[in-house]
Amino acid sequence: MSRVWARTGQPDQDGKRKWISVSDNTAILTWLQQAVLLQLGESPFWVDWGLPVIGFLSQGIYPDLYMQKTKERFQPYFLNVNINRNIPDNPEDQIAYTVTAIPYPGQTLAGAEYSQAPRAG
């Protein structure tokens, strides 16, 4: 993979989020992050990618199956990748997933630390 486009997490002074090009070894991790942020059916290329956010919010069912599918899709790109749900102490708190990716020997993921709250609708 040579290049992935992603939107910045935080808006600039004008309140706009910008698209950035990621072309180093963190491109695959950026691609994984973008896949996790997709809503189910949102991708114009892959209809089965993403998380059923609406169903999760209305029914309270965790999207663990969809996270497992995402993990399986990205497993060939890493020596090891794990996606685990963090159990909140307070049931009112938002759910979060921890992604741990170990690259193959010789690859680096310098500066690849992402934090993104799940979005609704």
Give the chain's domain count. Answer: 1
pLDDT tens for each residue of 11-46: 778 888 888 888 777 788 888 888 888 777 777 677
Domain assignment present for residue 70? The answer is yes
Structural domain that includes position 78: 4-103
71-107 in b/e burial notation, b at 16+ Cβ within 10 A? bebbeebbeebebeeeeeeeeeeeeebebebebeeee
Is pTM beyond 0.85? Reply is no
Domain assignment present for residue 112? The answer is no
In CATH, what number is assigned to the domain containing residue 55?
3.10.450
Domain assignment present for residue 76? The answer is yes
Domain assignment present for residue 22? The answer is yes
